[in-house]
Structure 1
Amino acid sequence: MKRSHRLVALTNFFLENPSEHVQLPFFVETYKAAKSSISEDLDIIDEMFRHEGVGYLQRTPGAAGGVRFIPSASRDRNKAFIEKLCNQLADPTRILPGGYLYMSDILGNPQLVREIGRIFATAFADTKIDVIMTVATKGIPLAHAVATFLQVPVVIVRRDPIVTEGSSVSINYVSGSPQKIQTMVLPKRSLAEGANVCIIDDFMKAGGTIDGMKSLLDEFHANVAAIGVLAEADDEEDERIIQDYVSLVKISKLNMKKNLIEVTSGNFLQD
């Protein structure tokens, strides 16, 4: 195999298998090349990944050493994307009756959702995460995007149990404005005891839903390793239950009478 062909094959492998640790003998056998040649190829690919701002190759020495691709978007790339996202969300035609914000087109766009997943994977690259958790339904695409880059499974919290998922753990929590009691359930087989969980949600006001998921995780003796939200509302900041989280955009003002939305970047870009 020519080096140019091998470089394409290796690049495709890493992009298709992010965060997966692979020992060098696998590449030596697969591409019938010397270990030194593979090592040089990895240097070239790592340099280009960093140049393009999409991530880098993490190398580990020793007998059990190998390499894995860490998706990690550059700050400039993330900033440009988040600014674009803010502009899209600031469209006043997104205002819905009741003061809600229409976001389904963004959550239904595979390219946008994939880039959002890459950003959260960047934020949590150094965090030990065993599983991604979200609540049905709008957070599901985001959770799967993050899980794809981190190579971990997704568990979905639902409002009602599903008979095909077996016995479930159920809790009541307070959410919404005005506040009301709601229920969320999670199948007992979804989580292993002591699992490190990353919670992903599409929108957060006071944080009641996420706080409910944290309480549900207590029932499984699981740990909240990270929390990521696509958009947060700024008008209830003083009453916010959740403090330690990463947000991409912030809805600073939503005025139905003036047909006005102000959207700024979230805390992800803060130094």
Structure 2
Amino acid sequence: MEVLKQRILEEGVVHSDQVLKLDALLNHQVDPILTMEMGREFAGRFADAGITRVVTVESSGIAVAFATALEMKVPLVFARRKKTLLADPDALCERVPSFTKGIVTDIMLSRQYISREDKVLFIDDIIANGDAARGLIKIIQRSGAELAGMGVVVEKCFQAGARTIRDQGIRLESLVRIESLEDGKVHFAD
């Protein structure tokens, strides 16, 4: 997506050779028009997959996952990172480290919102090391649902996350692939 690449160049902030801050368009502030374009792109790429449900992990993936679910006319379910007093005691849980937050959290998805009959599309904002993604994939697999694929807005090719997902035989589609963040600049792959 050329428009997304341009916005990343204009509004992304390279913090180090490992960290790209996309708060202005994805992780803190959301551009609804760009977000809907991303949702349409994912919906188009997975149009023939028979998707019955879109899933994501709170919170940065929700906007793009919502746009995708809206385009596909299917429900969106997001895995929670915090247990509440009303949390499903029988929820599917997985403990995952967060690369950007530097902490370990539990992600939880209620069994009520995913079943063996579902064909799931997992949408996320950025894949770096892939720990949260692998955690949610384990939850999807334990639910018995079929994972049709994963869509990520930004793939950091220089980190192992996307490769480890593809190595599992999972279809992973990226809207933008970043080769490196060397010299304080975004270098796109392809």
Q: What is the TM-score of this pair, normalised by structure 2?
A: 0.84
- Distance (Å, rounded) in 2 between the aligned partners of 1:225 and 1:197: 6
SS in 2 for 1:213: helix
2:25 match: 106
Give the counterpart of 2:8 among 77, 89, 102: 89
- Distance (Å, rounded) in 2 between the aligned partners of 1:263 and 1:239: 15
- What amino acid maps onto 2:185 in structure 1? L
- What amino acid maps onto 2:21 in structure 1? Y
- What amino acid maps onto 1:149 in structure 2? E
**Contact map agreement 1:206 1:240 (CA 8 A) in 2:** no
Give the counterpart of 2:70 among 142, 148, 159: 148
Give the counterpart of 1:252 among 172, 179, 183: 179
What is the deviation of 1:207? 2.1
Give the counterpart of 1:129 among 18, 43, 51: 51
Structure 1: gaps of 5 or more residues: 1-81, 266-271
- What amino acid maps onto 1:228 in structure 2? G
What is the deviation of 1:92? 7.9
What is the deviation of 1:157? 0.7
1:115 match: 37
**Contact map agreement 2:40 2:67 (CA 8 A) in 1:** yes
1:59 match: none
Identity across matched positions, percent: 26
1:222 aligns with 2:145: yes
What is the deviation of 1:99? 3.9
**Contact map agreement 1:170 1:185 (CA 8 A) in 2:** yes
What is the deviation of 1:175? 5.6
Structure 1 window deviating more from structure 2 (207-216 vs 135-144): it is: 207-216
SS in 2 for 1:147: helix
Q: What is the TM-score of this pair, normalised by structure 1?
A: 0.60
- Distance (Å, rounded) in 1 between the aligned partners of 2:43 and 2:162: 28
Q: Using a 3 Å threshold, how does the CA distance of structure 1 residues 232 and 121 change in structure 2: closer, same or farther?
A: same
What is the deviation of 1:226? 1.6
More helix by share: 1
What is the deviation of 1:132? 0.4
1:194 match: 117
What is the deviation of 1:188? 2.3
Count the aligned residue pairs. 182
- Distance (Å, rounded) in 1 between the aligned partners of 2:162 and 2:51: 28
- Distance (Å, rounded) in 1 between the aligned partners of 2:63 and 2:131: 21
Structure 2: gaps of 5 or more residues: none
Higher relative contact order (CA 8 A, sep 6+): 2
- What amino acid maps onto 1:90 in structure 2? L
Q: Using a 3 Å threshold, how does the CA distance of structure 1 residues 113 and 220 change in structure 2: closer, same or farther?
A: same
- What amino acid maps onto 1:89 in structure 2? I
SS in 1 for 2:94: strand
- Distance (Å, rounded) in 1 between the aligned partners of 2:85 and 2:76: 19
SS in 2 for 1:163: coil
- Distance (Å, rounded) in 1 between the aligned partners of 2:87 and 2:52: 20
**Contact map agreement 2:177 2:188 (CA 8 A) in 1:** yes
Larger CA Rg, structure 1 vs 2: 1
Q: Using a 3 Å threshold, how does the CA distance of structure 1 residues 105 and 92 change in structure 2: closer, same or farther?
A: closer
**Contact map agreement 2:12 2:20 (CA 8 A) in 1:** no
Q: Using a 3 Å threshold, how does the CA distance of structure 1 residues 133 and 239 change in structure 2: closer, same or farther?
A: closer
- Distance (Å, rounded) in 2 between the aligned partners of 1:114 and 1:104: 17
- What amino acid maps onto 2:70 in structure 1? T
